[in-house]
Structure formats: structure tokens, C-alpha cells
Amino acid sequence: MIAYLEHFVHGNDAESRQDDTDGDVVSSLDGLEITSATASAGKDFGGTKFSKPLAVIRPSSAVDVARVVRAAAATANLTVAARGNGHSINGQAMAHRGLVLDMRAMENECFRLGGENGLRYVDVSGGALWEDVLKRCVSQFGLAPRSWTDYLGLTVGGTLSNGGVSGQAFRYGPQTGNVTEMEVVTGRGETVVCSEKQNSELFFAALGGLGQFGIITRARVLLQQAPDMVRWIRVVYSEFEAYTRDAEWLVSLREGEGFDYVEGFVFVNNDDPCNGWPTVPIRPNQRFNPVRLPSNAGPVLYCLELALHCSHSDHPSTVDMEVDRLLGRLGFVEGVKFEVDVSYMEFLLRVKRVEEEAKVKGIWDAPHPWLNMFISKSNIADFDRQVFKKIINNGVGGPILVYPLLRSKWDSRHSVMVPESSNIFYIVALLRFVPALPKGPHNAEILVAQNNAIIQLCYNRGFDFKLYLPHYNSQENWMRHFGDKWTRFIDSKANFDPLALLAPGQNIFSRIP
């Protein structure tokens, strides 16, 4: 495959002609697995950005990763993007005419159980899929990570570079808060083990650091006892105020006193199969009965999604009693409740079923102009009035998540940005699948424009909010995003990736020749 790379580096095509030092790149990559799979590395789940790399390299160890970084550093213009599972929306894992490291090639490189200070952990490769981490931890040790994403076909390094949020984050914080040590290959090509106590600047910078400071080759992930079963519940609200009051109460409860998972979503108050009532029942044999809804219900409704961990040895009536005690305190629409008991694995892998169905319908590989935001509690009611009830009151052709998180569970030393004005903020995720509505010819550009209009509305109304999985086109916007942490961000960039080689698809810094 070296010949393939040589073809590009020394080719006659003017666009592919590089600096003289590129000859050294070819020899310094000798022995590495270089593939011509540049087309797939040139696109991502978002499906609206395309940027072909020069080559895709399949590293087998941190040593390989460091070699690639050093080889790129020796040139005038090559960049390096670690690609996890390519589930970004806006080309974040791409490297235009640069080198892409297919981190999944290292997915089995490391898997070790350990313990310290009474906590158990597993050391896993940065290229491992969370789905595989789950399966291996449960089957081999009866243990599991504490904090998840909804969908587990994402890599450890990919989510740790952003945050990693699901219905457990209210209790344990995001995935970035559940890692105690990492091995990172910096933009200087140095392999560094970092933690809160050792090389802490790199540790904190890399968590939520959008891949800007180094490539995570190994992470130490905290574990807990894996429950056998989960009671999975959905209840429906017609009033946003009651919905947020109950959701905020639930996330304030201590471990052992409340549910183990708290999420929720907005859906349309009609029978639309993609956006409306049919999206609420958990099982195909369950039916949503709209007769129970109050006659004054608005255009959208809200569904609180909850889960309680339980064990095979629990008597069903004990679980029922606990669930009834908690649900009895909530003000959902009477009778609009769905519940099932499922295995812990089935619960955590629930989105896999959605993936399979979407693949059959051909919408998994279609464009996904998604918008993810964190919005302060102080602005969420206004957001509901302006956005959920007006701009997207017909739905977005996919889930619209909205649920509360606690800022106190997010370490402010990490690079990920969250609203600061209140301890509670909401994640809002518009998970659009195109075509969006059965009725409309909605193409991706129109939906991106709608996302931008929503972001602009938040600015105009002075909301305290941050984009999650951020994407901006100018450094001014990045400066605004990081606010008073921008100086720290650029200082860390200068320390760990002075040539700005890494993660060029984030579009924050330009490669320094």
C-alpha cells in the first residue's frame, strides 16, 4: 500500500503534489497498514460533508499512531484525523487531503480489568466500540461502565472527545467524568499517560477536547455492578411545566432513592408514525390511546423515559412497589403509561433495534442534519414556547430529546462547555432523519437552515446555551463557544499540538506549516 501513498505524494496531479519532505512521509510510514478506503473516511453519519483524505492508516498500537503523527509533523501541510466510528455530523473526523487513522483497527488492542481506591475499572482501547465494551464487561466480569450514550455504536475515543451523555449522566456525569486515566498520543508525537494527578493538563484538556490535543489510544473507564434487569417506563405529559418539574425532581434524587435512568422527548400530538403518538409505546403490541389526553393539550406532548435497575432475585412486587412509589409522585397524564421488563443488555442496546429498522427503511445512510444543544434551566420554558411549540411543532422526522442534567456532575476542568447560570441545564437533541416528514420535500439544506435559525433565536433571546458536538465556521464563533476558557484551550493547543495537525475537521485551527 505504500505504493498507493507514493502515487498521491509524488503524483503528477498538481493538487496532490506536496512539499519535498513528503518523500520522508512515505518511508517513515513503511510497514504500516495503509488502505485505499478513502471514500468511506471522506464521509460521516451527518451525510452532508465530504472530504477525501490522502490515505487511511490502520494502526495496531500507540506506537503506530505516534509514527503517523510524527510523519505528518515532518511535512509542511499534512494533518491527521483520528476516526472513531465516523458518527460525527459535520465532518469532524475528516482530514482533507490528510491522514486518517482508523482507530477501530486498534479496538481489541487493550482490555484489562483492574481496581484502585475501592473502584473497579477497565482499560480499553480508544478505538473500541462502547457496544463491545458493554458485552465484554458484562459477560466476563458481571460489571459495566456507569455512564452511557443512547447509541453504543460509537468509539470510546470519539465520545470522550465530546462528552458522552445519556440518561445516567444526571447521576454519574457524562462519560468524560467516568475516566480516571488515559494514554494519549499528542500532536508532538509523544505517547503520554495522563490522569488527574499525572500530566493533568493533557488529561483535562483531552476530555471533551474535540480531538485537538491528542489521540486517545487507551482509557480507564470506571465500572459498577451490572444489574440483571431493567424496568423501562414511559409516561406522557401535556404540560411542559409539569414535565420539567417532575424530571428535575427525579434527577435530584440520590442513588437508591430514585430511577437509574432519566431521559425524555417531545413528540407531536397526532398519529404521525414518525413524530407522533406511535413513537411512544415501547413494544409493538402496546397502543397509545389519545382519548386520555386533556382536550386542551397543545401541538406537542412530552414523554418522560425512566428505568429502574433490578435483579432476577427481586420479587416482582418489590419492583412494582418501588416504581409505584416514585410514579405516584409524578403528574403525568393518568393512564398514559408504558412499561416493560427487559434485560440490562437489551435496554442499553435499544437503539441498535432502531438502527436495524432505519437501515431497512434506507434512512440510516441518508443525511442527518442533527442539532444538539445544552440549554440552561432558566431558558428552557421559553425554548419550549418558541421552538418545540412553534418552529418544530410538526416534528423533525426523528426523536427530539429534552431532559435535565446537573452541572455539578460536569468537571469544569474538562474542555467540554456547558451553560453556567444554573445547576440544571437541559440537553436538547433534534435527531433528524431525512426525509423528515412524510408530507414534505425537506432536504438537508432546509433542515440545516432551520437548525441555524434555532441557534440564532437562542442568541437573539440571550439564552444561556452551548452547542453540544459543536460545529462552527469561524474562529470567532469558537472563541464565543469557549468564552473565558478559550485562552486555556489555545494554550493547551500550543503545548500539545503546536503545528495544529490534529482533528482538522473540527475547523478550529489551521495547520501551521
Which residues have a catalytic role annotated? 87, 150, 263
Name the one range near ligand FAD by CB under 6 A: 15-23, 152-160, 275-283, 307-315: 152-160
Select from 79, 90, 161, 168 the one that contacts ligand FAD (CB under 6 A). Answer: 161
- Residue 432 beta carbon to ligand FAD: minimum distance, rounded to whole angstroms: 11
When asked if residue 186 is in the footprint of ligand FAD (CB under 6 A), the reply is no
Which residues within the stretch 324-343 sit at the binding site for ligand FAD (CB under 6 A)? none
CB neighbours of residue 321 within 10 Å: 11
3-state secondary structure labels for all residues of 173-204: CCHHHHEEEEEEEECCCCEEEEECCCCHHHHH
The set of residues, in sequence order, having a beta carbon less than 8 Å from that of 469 and lying 6+ positions away, is 88, 89, 92, 162, 370, 372
Look at residues 513, 504, 508, 509 and name the one whose alpha carbon lies nearest to residue 81. 504
200-229 binders of ligand FAD (CB under 6 A): 210-211, 215-216
Which CB, 149 or 379, lies closer to ligand FAD?
149
Measured CA to CA, the distance from residue 369 to residue 249 in angstroms comes to 32
Element containing residue 270 per DSSP (H, E) = none
From 79, 155, 244, 492, residue interacting with ligand FAD (rule: CB under 6 A): 155
Q: Verify binding: residue 82, ligand FAD, rule CB under 6 A.
A: yes
Q: How far apart are CA 398 and CA 275, in angstroms?
A: 6
Joined together, the cell numbers standing for residue 396 give 423533525
Task: Provide the strand spans (E) within 329-469.
Answer: 337-343, 371-376, 400-406, 424-430, 465-467
Among 376, 503, 507, 509, binds ligand FAD (CB under 6 A): 503
For position 506 contacting ligand FAD by CB under 6 A, the verdict is: yes
- Contact between 83 and ligand FAD per CB under 6 A: yes
CA distances (Å), origin 195, targets 183, 187, 333, 498: 9, 18, 47, 21
Tell me which residues in 292-321 interact with ligand FAD (CB under 6 A): none
Q: Does 165 bind ligand FAD (CB under 6 A)?
A: yes
**Shortest distance (Å) from residue 269 CB to ligand FAD:** 25
Peptide bond preceding 290 in cis form (omega within 30 of 0)? no
Q: Does 469 bind ligand FAD (CB under 6 A)?
A: yes
Among positions 27-46, residues that touch ligand FAD (CB under 6 A) are 44-45
Q: Could you say which of 18, 147, 149, 238 contacts ligand FAD (CB under 6 A)?
A: 149
CB of 145 to ligand FAD, least distance (A): 13
Could you tell me if 34 and 64 are in contact, meaning their C-beta atoms sit under 8 angstroms apart?
Answer: no
Q: Are 56 and 38 in contact (CB under 8 A)?
A: yes
CB 232 → ligand FAD: shortest distance, Å?
16
Enumerate binding residues for ligand FAD (CB under 6 A).
44-45, 81-88, 92-93, 103, 126, 149-151, 154-155, 157-159, 161-166, 210-211, 215-216, 469, 503, 505-506
